[in-house]
Each structure stands twice: as structure tokens, then as C-alpha cells.
Amino acid sequence: MLYREAGQFKTSYRADQQIFPILQDRIGMLVLGFVALVGVPLVASEYWLTAILIPLLVFSLAAIGLNILTGYAGQLSLGTAAFMAVGAVATYNFQLRVPGIPILVSFLLGGGTAAAVGAVFGLPSLRIKGFYLAVATLAAQFFIPWLLVKVSWFSNDSASGVITTQPVEILGFTFDTPLRKYLFALVVVSVLALVAKNLVRSHIGRAWMAVRDMDVAAEVIGIRIVRTKLVAFAVSSFYCGIAGALYAFAYLGSVETDGFNLDLSFRILFMIIIGGVGSILGSFLGAAFITLLPILLDVALTEGATALGLQLPSGMTSMVQLVVFGALIIFFLIVEPLGLARLWQIAKEKLRLWPFPH
Amino acid sequence: MTHDHNPGRRIGETLLAVENISLAFGGVRALTDISFDVREHEIRAIIGPNGAGKSSMLNCVNGVYRPQQGTIRFAGQTFRHMHPHKAALMGIARTFQNIALFRGMSVLDNIMTGRNLKMRCGLFLQALYVGPNRREELAHREKVEHIIDFLQIESVRKTPVGRLPYGIQKRVELGRALAAEPRLLLLDEPMAGMNIEEKQDMCRFILDVNDEFGTTIVLIEHDMGVVMDISDRVVVLDYGRKIGDGSPDEVRANQDVIDAYLGVAH
Amino acid sequence: MQFFFEVLIGGLLAGVMYSLVALGFVLIYKASGVFNFAQGSMVFFAALTYVGLQEKFGLPGWAVFGLTLAVMVVLGIAIERVVLRPLVNQPQITLFMATIGLAFFIEGLAQVIWGTQVRRLDLGLQDEPIAMLMDRFNMLVSKFDVVAAVVAGLLVAVLAVFFNRTRIGRALRAVADDHQAALAVGIPLKQIWAIVWSVAGFVALVAGLMWGARNGVQFALTFVALKALPVLILGGFESVLGAIVGGLIIGASEKLAEVYLGPHLGGGIEGWFAYVMALLFLLVRPEGLFGEKHIDRV
Ligand SMILES: Nc1ncnc2c1ncn2[C@@H]1O[C@H](COP(=O)(O)OP(=O)(O)O)[C@@H](O)[C@H]1O
Ligand SMILES: [Mg+2]
């Protein structure tokens, strides 16, 4: 079975407008879906589920959120984690304070709350651009977690500030084991990824990219810059909010506001730079890369050190990690600004021509 | 290359009138007390040396710049300053001197973006995609494909515009403007930097648009041959002032214009 | 009232330190249009290298200073070569993200080389109140802060002379005004950039020594750079004077807010106050205090 486009003539614009116009890609997606839904539950250990797959899904969602704002709409944000915090805390509070509310509704409302907060912090983007905007989002990053900690109502006056999340229960079925939590996250993330793909290939997506690429020209053809940017902030924050809620409910089992810090924001930014700015697929690739790299690095360093009979100073691996992350960011920006997603695409194009390159 | 071959094309009433426009950037007076009009279905050229204020004039017409003085009358409405969005709504489209395409997007998406004002589906329908949104996308895709055919850029429709040669980019930008089905088309040096062949193609596109859709066109151009050939009337600017206005022949005979412009290098 | 002044002066002096960091940003921004997010890491790197070299070789202060300066110059030139040159003509946002990567790289590198523990940096200055002010006005003003302020002032003066009186400085200003034109009249852009990055390294070293001596040399130093951001918003990215004034304003208002507003809000507001203030300021005056309004050319 070869990867070929030849012979697949698109007879209609409709066929051309599919997300995966090439048959082999559609088959590939089906296989991937099957593996994720059936294969993983059969073989994955608890460690794999809790330490790798669930966070990978959660971060993918956050990366999609940031990608909508930064990759598609061109508005740099360093406040991703803050909007995740809003989503987590809001979901928790809806679940806590509205009797009988279904968990999915809480998630949606949590995302909605994050969207509203995101839009407020997006307001400065109406007047400022580029890294000026980064300062506005930094304000969010420092102010929001502070507020969430200071006002103890948000954490239901818990003395430690750490709040345990409610069980995720849908129609009497409780997602309590790691495997169930994984499946829950998988479904949520898949659906939202599809929605994101739909948005970016519709006219709002084109408006985002237009504003990103050339705002004056966008305005001249009738795009409302203000509204377009605010919608980008809101939708992006909605995604980050849901990701935050998943982080709390499906990954940690608690809401720890301190965890939603600048470092996390940077990490998600790195995911989209390495995975692919302006690519939904890239969000997944980047999340996978940034989640797996530290683990691999850790193994490599400890193994390497033992093999050489060395004693690694404590904290060394996390420092090496900083160096590697930094170098990779620079490398990708210089060599392949469109990231892993672009590399994947190039590989496919090569494969399509193989074995006759031109 | 003259367009008078089509006797069916009638020049109509005044569509656009700029009156006493003055614009300054700090101390630089880009435009001083400029007035002229553009009639329906007309091809109106603006000429003048570099820095004369031609681009600034177009920018005032569709609201990218806000003139300090004067008014702009378009389709019966008078504005102190135009707003870009309002201008687009009223059917003014344009291209830019330095190509202002959306570099990261494909040719198809660039031109589709030109139709954004005609798209009605809300965020929710777009999120679903299937249903009304897909129908809308397809309907507009069809129109856009016509434009792509018309401009003969079928082979690059999926290519990101940043990778296209200059001449083709200029065409795509025209396509994006046409996608809005404008009443008034403002073209800022659409042929600058092109070779003869490309220029001829572009001239033909402009004339066809004017002929077939009756689109009114305001055109900034340096190539005097082209200007004389395709325009009905010409405005001449120099140092932000209007120094000539009339048919190509009248302008050519105007001594001020000869001194200021035709005398120089061109 | 006297307490108010004490807080105010303390804030202004702290502000001087912000200015010192912001200055490095402005230099690079002016010359190459890059917003160098890694400036804070360079401060940290410089301070850590200084302490590290001192511990290792036990050389006198001036020798260590010279060595560290050499390291910073090499670092600056390397950054220009390896990171920025390949990214010339990329969108600003790309350059900005590249310097974020750079910041991580430098922070990691510094600690891989010198370890992760907090170091004391002793410049022989005591952080004690000035006796005269204490006696006469009963005001607590740290001797150390005053010295830091004087150093910062000197540095600004040196830079001003450098910019206005030397040939390189004039070329630099030409570059800042218009890259193309500067190239056209034969100014060697790349050389200029290398010099600017070296100077920024020097500024980082001075800032690193002052901050390090005050708070210890530790990772948290990099956060100082984040504080420089609101300073720049206030002062504008292109104005040396703006960096100074912006630093003073942020320093003073942050301290005042901490003392007078903090208790009502439950404390801990110094983490965000500067940003929120910068944000509000941006909404009123996006071009900064000293920046010029300009309209995009199309
Ligand atoms: N956005 C702007 N900011 C400052 N000056 C401008 C701007 N746009 C145009 N100018 C100035 O206005 C004058 C006219 O420019 P322009 O309209 O571009 O001329 P033309 O298109 O005829 O070459 C020039 O002196 C130019 O420098
Ligand atoms: Mg012009």
C-alpha cells in the first residue's frame, strides 16, 4: 500500500475541502483513532497513562488554545497557564456550587469563564501589538493566580489552598481509574481538536490569519480587527480553560493554582514553536515532544552517568533540560519555523514522489 | 490596448468626490487641498513623481489615513473621514503599492478572505462546519474559482503566496480585491516592477474588469504609456498639490505637468 | 510624611536597578530592533560567572571583572552570530521568541557550568543605613542603594558619551534610525551589532554585580528582567532616558503600592503591580512616555 495521491482526482470542491483529502491519510487517522481507543487501553501501563498519555492530551489541548491565538491570530501570549487556572478553578466552583450540575456543563462553563477573562486581557491588543501585548498577557499571568489564591472563596476556604476535584461522573459512569480518565481526556480533546480544525478552515480562521499576516490589508477588505482579535482571545482562552480543567480533573485530581505558573506558559509556548505555529497537528506533535523529551533526557543522562561511573550533581538534569529546550527553540525558529508539522508534511511529500523524485 | 472598443460602456454620474483634502504627518504635508471626482464606470488615473502623495490619497479614500481637512463623498454619502471597514462595506476594494497579501496563506485562502463580508455563518456553525457553513464555503469557493480562472492562476491555487513570484503575487492581490465584487477599485501601482508581458496581462485584466463588471477604477501608475492608453481621465499630483486634471491628452499638453513630471526622467 | 519619603526614596533607588537592566534592552532594541528577552539571563550569567571565577581562582576583583567582561563580550558576539544573524528580516515576534529560547539556554548553561546553589557576592559594600540621614532626618536610606544609584548614573553617562561622541556611537544611532540607509552609506551593520551585543553584555555585568551583591546570585535574578518589561513599556523601547525614568517610576510606585495598598489587598502585590500598571498605561499611551506616535505606512 503506497502513499499516493495519483489517481485520486477531486471531482468536486467539496471533496477538496475535506480535512484529509487523501485516502491514505484518512486510513491513517482511522488507524490512529483505533490505536488510541482500543490499542492503548489494552497495553498501556498505569505509568504510561498517568505520567505520559494524559498530560500529553491535556497539553495538546492547551497548545491548540495557544496556537489559535499565537499561531493563527498572531497575538503572542505568555499567559496561557493563567487562563488554564481560571478554567480549572471555575469548573471546580461550578461543580461545587451549582447542585446537580452535569460535569460536562461545568467544563463548558469553566471554559466560558476562561474565555471571558481572556477577552478582558485581550482588550489591550486593540491598541498594542507584538511584544507589547506579551506584557499584557504577563500581567494576566502574574495577577490571576495571585487573585485566585488571595480570594479564598475560589478554593472553598480550604486551609492549604489545595482543593481536591470532584469525581468526573457522566450518566452514572465514573471516570475514576487512570484508564477511564485517559479515555475521558481523549474524547474531550479529540472533539475540541476537530472543532478547532473546523474553525481555522472557516472564515473566522482566515480572518485570524489575515490579521496575523497583514492587519491593515485585513481591515481594508472589511475584517473587523477588534472583533477578530477578541474572538481569538476568547476561543483560545476557552481551550486553555478546558485544558486547565482537564489538568485538574483528569490528571492531578486537584486544583493547584501554584502549578499554573509562568514556567507552564513557556512550556506550552515551546510546544507550539517546536510542533508548528499555526497547525493543529503541530500542537499535538509539540505537546508530545515537550512531554517526552525531559523523560528521555533524564533517562539518557542518568544512564550515561552511571555508565561512565559519574555522580551527577543534583538538579543537573533540569539544567541540561533548559539548555536543550533553549537550543531547540532557536534551532527550530532558524531552520524550520513551521516546526515538526512542516517536517511531517515534507516527509509526506517526499513519500508521495518516491521512488521517482521528479 | 485601448478600451474604447466597447461602445456599451457608459461613463455615469459621479461616484466618488474628494473635496479639499489636506493631510500632514507631523511637519510633512502629504496632501494639500486636493479635490477631484471619479465617475461611475470610469478608469481614473493618478500620476505624479514619487512622494507626490498618490498613495496617501488612496489611503484617505478608504480610510486608512485620516485627513485633517476635507470631505469624501462616495455613492451619495459624505464623510469627514472614511473608515476602512465602512469603505469595504460600501464596496471599495484596493491593492497596495507594496504587496499586502497574507503571506502565510494559500492563494485560494487569500482570495476567499476577500469575500469575508459576504459570509454569514456564526462561530457556532463554523465550529460544526458541516451543514450551512459547508454550503456557504462551497458557494464562495465557486465564485473564487471563477476569479482564479479569470486571472489564470489555477496552477498555484494551493501555494502559499509568500513563495510566488512578484508578478503573480500582484495578480493574487487583484484577485482578493475582486472577490469582494467592488463598486470602486483602487489600484496602487499594480504594474510596478513588472516586465512588458506581465504589464500587458495586467492591463488586460484591468480593462476586462472595467468592461465586464462595470467596476469603477482609480489607478496609480508610473508608466505613462499605460496611463495614456487605458485611463479616461488623469489627476496629476506634485508635492501634495494637484497640478493637473483632465483627459490624457489635456494632461499631456499641460505645461505645469510637463515641467513637474514629464520633464523629469520619465 | 517622613515615612512616605523613606519609602519613596527606597523605591526610587530600587528603580535605578530596574533602569540598569532596562538599559541593556534599549541598547539592543535601538540597534537591531530585537527585543532581547534574554537580557535578564545575561545579568544572571554575568553575576554567576563573576562569583564562579572568583571562587575558583581567588583573583582580585578587578581581574575577575576583566575576565567576566571578556566572557560576556564573547557571549554577546556569539549570540549575534549564531542566533540573530540567521533570523535577520524575520518578524519581530519570531525574534522575540528566539530570545526566549536564548534565555532558557543561557540560564541552563550558567548553572550547568557553575552549579545551582545560591552564591553570595561580596563587593565590600554594606547594606546599612546612611548614618547622616539617619541622624538628621531619621530616615532609613541604604548606603548600598545609593552606591548602586551612583554606579547606574555613571553607566548612563558613559553610554551617553559613547552614543553621542564616538564614531561608533554615531554609526549606531544611524543604524537605529534606518537600517537600509545605514547600509547604503557603508556602515558595517554586522560589526555594529557585535559591538552592541558586547556593550549589552557589559551592562548586564554591571547590573548583575549590583543585583547579585544585594540579593545573592541566584536564579531569581532572571525575574528582574521580567520587571524591566513594564519599565520599557512606560519609557518606550527606544529611549535611554525613557528606561531611566521608567525604572524610577516603576520602582517608586511599586514600593509605595506595596506599603500603602498592599495591606488592603492581602499583600504579595509586588508580583503583578508593575505589569498591571504598565498595562493600564499602555491603554492610554501605547507609544510610551517618550516614544513617538507613528502611522503604519502602506
Ligand atoms: N504613514 C506615514 N507616516 C509618515 N509619513 C508618510 C506616511 N505615508 C506617507 N508619508 C509621506 O507623505 C508623502 C507622500 O507619500 P506617498 O503618498 O506615499 O507618495 P506617493 O505614493 O505619491 O509616492 C511622502 O513625503 C511620505 O514620506
Ligand atoms: Mg505610492
Q: Using one digit for the tens of pLDDT, what is the confidence trace for A40-87?
A: 998 989 999 999 999 999 999 999 999 999 999 999 999 999 999 999
- pLDDT > 70? residue C206: yes
For the record, the C-alpha cell of B162 comes out as 509568500
CA distance C133 to C137: 5
Confidence of residue C176 (pLDDT cuts 50, 70, 90): low
The per-residue pLDDT for A358 is 55
B30 lines ligand 1 (CB under 6 A): yes
B28 lines ligand 1 (CB under 6 A): yes
- pLDDT > 50? residue B2: no
Confidence of residue B156 (pLDDT cuts 50, 70, 90): very high
Residue A110 lies in a domain: yes
Q: Using one digit for the tens of pLDDT, what is the confidence trace for A279-310?
A: 999 999 999 999 999 999 989 988 888 888 88
B241 sits in the region (left: phi over 0; alpha: psi -120 to 50; else beta) called beta
Nearest CA to ligand 1 atom 2: C297
CB pairs under 8 A between A and C: 128
For the record, the C-alpha cell of C4 comes out as 512616605
Q: Which atom of ligand 1 is nearest to the CA of B26?
A: 4
- pLDDT > 50? residue A10: yes
Best of B23, B31, B64, B68 to substitute, by most chain C Cβ atoms within 10 angstroms, is B64
Q: Using one digit for the tens of pLDDT, what is the confidence trace for A222-232?
A: 999 999 999 99
Best of A219, A258, A323 to substitute, by most chain C Cβ atoms within 10 angstroms, is A323
For residues C138-148, average pLDDT? 77
For residues C1-11, average pLDDT? 84
For chain C, domain boundaries: 2-284
| Closest-CA residue to C112 (of A322, A309, A263, A300) | A322
The per-residue pLDDT for A53 is 96
The per-residue pLDDT for B266 is 43
Domains in chain A, number = 1
Interface subset of B 141-200, CB within 8 angstroms of C: none
Interface subset of C 123-182, CB within 8 angstroms of A: none
C101 CB within 8 Å of a chain A CB: yes
Percent of chain B surpassing pLDDT 90? 85
Nearest CA to ligand 1 atom 4: B25
B48 lines ligand 1 (CB under 6 A): yes
The per-residue pLDDT for A163 is 87
Closest Cα in chain A, distance from residue B101 (Å): 7
The per-residue pLDDT for C89 is 80
The per-residue pLDDT for B265 is 47
Give, as one character, the DSSP assignment of residue B65. Answer: S
Position with higher pLDDT, A130 vs A345: A345
The per-residue pLDDT for B261 is 65
Q: Which atom of ligand 1 is nearest to the CA of B49?
A: 22
C265 CB within 8 Å of a chain A CB: yes
Percent of chain C surpassing pLDDT 90? 23
Confidence of residue B262 (pLDDT cuts 50, 70, 90): low
The per-residue pLDDT for C17 is 81
Residue A310 lies in a domain: no
Confidence of residue A7 (pLDDT cuts 50, 70, 90): low
Q: Which ligand is nearest to the CA of B23?
A: 1
The per-residue pLDDT for A310 is 81
Q: Which residues of B201-239 are buried (b: 16+ CB within 10 A; e: fewer)?
A: bbbebbbebbeeeebbbbbbbbbbebbbebbbbbbbbbe
Closest-CA residue of C relative to A125 is C283
Question: Cβ contact (<8 Å) for C116 and A314?
Answer: yes
Q: Using one digit for the tens of pLDDT, what is the confidence trace for A135-188?
A: 889 999 999 999 999 898 998 888 777 789 999 989 889 999 999 999 999 999
Q: Using one digit for the tens of pLDDT, what is the confidence trace for B73-97?
A: 999 999 999 999 999 999 999 999 9
Confidence of residue A3 (pLDDT cuts 50, 70, 90): low
The per-residue pLDDT for A2 is 56
For the record, the C-alpha cell of C146 comes out as 545609593
Residue A333 lies in a domain: no
Q: Could you list the residue range(s) of the whole structural domain that residue A129 is in?
A: 18-259
Contact B188, B154 (CB under 8 A): no
The per-residue pLDDT for B119 is 94
Residue A280 lies in a domain: no
Mean pLDDT of chain C: 84
The per-residue pLDDT for C41 is 92
Distance B68 CA to ligand 1 centre (A): 15
For residues A238-258, average pLDDT? 95
Closest partner residue to A320 (CB to CB) among C35, C94, C108 is: C108
Q: What is the pTM of this model?
A: 0.92
The fold for domain C2-284 equals ABC transporter involved in vitamin B12 uptake, BtuC (1.10.3470)
- pLDDT > 70? residue A116: yes
Distance B214 CA to ligand 2 centre (A): 25
Residue A304 lies in a domain: no
Q: Could you report the predicted ipTM of this complex, rounded to two decimals?
A: 0.93
Set out the domains of chain B in order of their start, with CATH numbers. Answer: 1-91+183-266 (3.40.50.300), 101-181 (no CATH)
Closest partner residue to C279 (CB to CB) among A124, A146, A333 is: A124
